Chain A
Amino acid sequence: MVFSSIYFLCLFLPAVMMLYFIIPGKFRNILLLIASLIFYGWGEPVYIWLMVFSIAVNYICGLQIDRTENRAKRLALLVFCLIADLGILGFFKYTDFAIENINKISGSSIALLRLALPVGISFYTFQTLSYVIDVYRGNVRAQKNIIDFGMYICMFPQLIAGPIVRYIDVEGQLKNREVDEDAVWSGLVRFSAGLFKKVLFANQVGLIWSEISSLTTRPMATAWLGAICFTFQIYFDFSGYSDMAIGLGRIFGFNFPENFRYPYEADSITEFWRRWHITLSTWFREYLYIPLGGNRCNVIRQILNLLIVWALTGIWHGAGWNFLLWGLYYFLLLTLEKFVFKNILKKTPAVLRHVIALLLTVFGWVIFACDDINVLTGYIGTLFGSQGMANSMSAYYLSTNALLLIVMALASTHYPKALCGKILSRLDEKQVYLFELLFVMGCVGLSIVFLIGDTYNPFLYFRF
């Protein structure tokens, strides 16, 4: 199930919300668990068993690690659990990719599994890992209540697209949550904003990207415009989803960590990754980079650590060479920034630094977006003018989308929020409420209108 759909907005979400607040507090976690399992299994109900299995394995391992004093036994349990979690992730996400490449190299023709990817598996696997690792490290006690634990693993607000909530961050909230009316309201406001970003920005600009990326003749100007469109699409899609997740979490009484902090305002790649998908970077830092030795070792080892982290970050995003390439691209940029250009960048004017960072990011998204290597090399060629500089349609795409792009450029900075904050600080409580009410109604109303409008699908085959 996805948030930006009519059945979620008009059936699932309101039904869960209405029930959640009228049932006694002790049943709320059960409700959330059941709702989340339905949400998870909506497309592929059979995978509910997979989720139940994952919950059971991690629950038992966590408890056993917590109970055992023997260090070797604890380690064995941890390793067992990691293999189980990563094995499931690897099996569902990477088997076909591996088979394809084995077939290509050896000329064999092993049949692909063609399994549907269980929704959110990359996200919730990282959540379960954070749990067992932190239990192993003794940072947190094991969860004894399997319902609370199961709810944490598959909670529908952040199941599909994060943020990756570490167990240690929400442990206390699993049991003791009060209904806070202000939080419920601000959660609704946050959710509405996220929905708006997803439906009115990401989906619309996505149409332009898909049109431009499928052109057979694509001059340089059009190619860059397309890449910029994808840059906005992925940001508003992803951060919109995070906003919706954080908003829903807040309504249920959770405090999820922020996932984005205006990444396109970054003036270096290092800074970009402090602002983009923060919970993923945090996860990799906590559970991989630092255990590997982080930057407390010699330069060669540091670079090796970065290489491992970024190769895995790349491949985490998808089973394809382009994702690995995308990860390595950032490894290269970050390494250069850290060890070669550090001092030069310090002397570079801020505007120029910003422009460079943006250009590199936009280029990176092209690698990310083209999951076929031939398509990718073709697209990169057009970025450098392999099919000419510009044509009439370049001007057409630019002129008909300029306003949308400007609006999105502004919306991806901190200014709109700062401006709203300024306005709201001058209003009294009641006026703020009215302002927010209009905002919610506008965002949700327009989103539904656009969701319906985009399914409007004239049947064009018969041209009567």
Chain B
Amino acid sequence: MKDIKFTTFYLSMMVLFFIGLAILLKPASDYSENENRTLKTLNKYNVSDIMEGVFQEDLANFLCDQFPKRDAAMAVSACIKTMLGKRDMQDTYIGENHYYFEKVTDDDINVENYKRNLGRLNALCENRDALSMTVMLVPSSGVILSDCLPAFASIYDADALYDMAELMLEGTMINPSEALRAAHARGEYIYYRTDHHWTTYGAYIGYTCLMEDGAYTDYNPTSVCDDFLGTLHSRVLLSDAKCDEVFIATEDAAVSIDGQSSTLYHMDALGVKDKYQVFLGGNYGLVELEGQGNGTLLILKDSFANCFVPYLLSDYERIIMVDMRFYPASVANLIDTENITDVLVLYELNNFANDKNLAKLTM
């Protein structure tokens, strides 16, 4: 028995060592699609890298990043945690009916920054009497689908933020919450289960709130895929996730992205992990679209606008979309040189509150 025990011990050490060696020797993969980040790889190191601990730190990250079946390990640990009762991981609530929600509580909302951002929008309208600005902030899915949140889980107080905006904003504020709640009560599919974005139909509800008699009326969606597992799923990787279906509801159109000609819909995105990129192929600094209506509209936006903008093509002749995260130039200049009279600000509410890039509006 003694021999068996010792042999087992020695063998288990060999197995562990083999795993370590295998990670070091196998070709390293450098990108994790689920995490949307590059993985650690090893460079060449010299003595001073070792003396400063650079090599040691890199090795530690390398071994974790390159560990075989990493995603599976994550899924197993997430599964055990949920069995123990855990209902949030990586800032993601695991809700009812296979819904995941971003865990954003009042603590996570930077109210000061929110007020500053509202002030920046006001400042943009100052001295531009012809400019009409409309602000539509979209509540996070957890706000509207609160009945699907885990028991007792709380989400940030959206109403308080809307009240604040109502009070401060000089432009028009559109609050789509009520319409979205009503749609949810009807059992409509307005937010993705595994992604934080609103669905094509959710965006349509938003459109009806924004345009009381908009030109786009015949909502007739086509399903383009039904195997979408979004970014919230990437954070928890639970195996019981229910895939989302992605719809498009308008004709494709030619657009210009950062000066390059492109299309409204990117069907090749259906082959990658993040299928929400089917709308415009992702986020870019400056996107210009040609529509069938009249006038020019400038949209200051985050990714919530990507599946929303197609509806507006019926109403405007020209739409310019600016994503402040990737737009290096001055928005004020853009407004003046393009003689823009209508501005729409479209963000997810909490993203708008915490966004630091709106500071660039003062440029």
Contact = CB atoms under 8 A, between A and B. Distances in A.
Interface of A: 5-7, 9-11, 13-15, 17-18, 21, 42-46, 181-182, 184-185, 188, 204, 215-217, 251, 391-393, 395-396, 399-404, 407, 429-430, 433, 437, 440, 444, 446, 448-460, 462-464
B152 A453 contact: no
A459 B37 CA distance: 6
A188 B76 CA distance: 24
B231 interface: yes
B151 interface: yes
Contacts of A401: 85-86
Contacts of A18: 10, 13-14, 17
Contacts of B351: 463
Interface stretch (B208-216, B256-264, B275-283, B334-342): B275-283
Pick from A9, A10, A11, A393 the residue with the most CB of B within 10 Å.
Answer: A10
B86 A14 contact: no
Pick from A43, A396, A463 the residue with the most CB of B within 10 Å.
Answer: A463
Interface in B224-263: 231, 234-235, 237
A6 B34 contact: no
B20 A6 contact: yes
Nearest to A457: B35
A39 to B, nearest CB: 11
B8 interface: yes
Contacts of B65: 455
Given A7-B60, A13-B16, A453-B76, A21 B154 contact: no
B154 A396 contact: yes
B154 A393 contact: yes
B78 A453 contact: yes
A404 B85 contact: yes
Contact of B84 (A182, A185, A404, A444): A404
B312 to A, nearest CB: 22
B151 A399 contact: yes
B34 A458 contact: yes
Contact of A455 (B8, B64, B71, B237): B64
Given A429-B1, A459-B36, A460-B235, 10 more contacts: A6-B20, A17-B9, A45-B50, A185-B6, A215-B107, A451-B64, A452-B67, A456-B74, A463-B351, A464-B274
A6 B70 contact: no
Contacts of A453: 73-74, 76-78
Interface stretch (B87-95, B113-121, B167-175, B180-188): B87-95
30 contacts: A6-B63, A10-B63, A14-B13, A14-B20, A15-B17, A17-B9, A17-B10, A45-B50, A182-B5, A184-B9, A185-B5, A185-B8, A393-B154, A396-B87, A396-B153, A400-B150, A404-B85, A429-B1, A444-B16, A449-B73, A455-B64, A456-B70, A456-B71, A458-B35, A458-B90, A458-B234, A460-B235, A462-B325, A463-B302, A464-B276
A411 to B, nearest CB: 13
A437 B15 CA distance: 14
Pick from B9, B61, B90, B106 the residue with the most CB of A within 10 Å.
Answer: B9
Contacts, number: 172
B77 A450 contact: yes
Taking residues whose C-beta sits less than 8 angstroms from the other chain, chain B's interface range is: 35 or more
Contact of A393 (B64, B67, B152): B152
Contacts of A464: 36, 231, 274, 276-277, 282-283, 303
B45 to A, nearest CB: 13
A400 B6 contact: no
B130 interface: no
Nearest to A429: B1
Contacts of B90: 456, 458, 460
Contacts of A21: 10
Nearest to B15: A14
Nearest to B37: A459
Nearest to A430: B1
B28 interface: no
A403 B84 contact: yes
A392 B154 contact: yes
Contacts of A392: 152-154
B133 to A, nearest CB: 24
Contact of A433 (B1, B276, B303): B1
Contact of B152 (A5, A399, A449, A462): A399
Closest 3 CB pairs of A and B: A453-B77, A10-B20, A459-B37
B196 A463 contact: yes
Contacts of B70: 452, 456
Nearest to A215: B107
Nearest to B325: A462
Pick from B107, B196, B235, B283 the residue with the most CB of A within 10 Å.
Answer: B107
Nearest to B91: A460
B76 A449 contact: yes
B85 A402 contact: yes
A395 B152 contact: yes
Interface string B9-35: 110111011011101000000000011
A73 to B, nearest CB: 40
B56 A42 contact: yes
A6 B60 contact: yes
A26 B70 CA distance: 41
Contacts of B60: 5-7
Contacts of A6: 20, 23, 60, 63-64, 67
B74 A14 contact: no
B44 interface: no
A251 B14 CA distance: 16
B98 interface: no
Given A453-B78, A455-B65, A459-B37, A400 B13 contact: no
B231 A396 contact: no
Contacts of B63: 6-7, 10-11
Interface in B52-71: 53, 56, 59-61, 63-65, 67, 70-71
Contacts of B274: 464
B51 A45 contact: yes
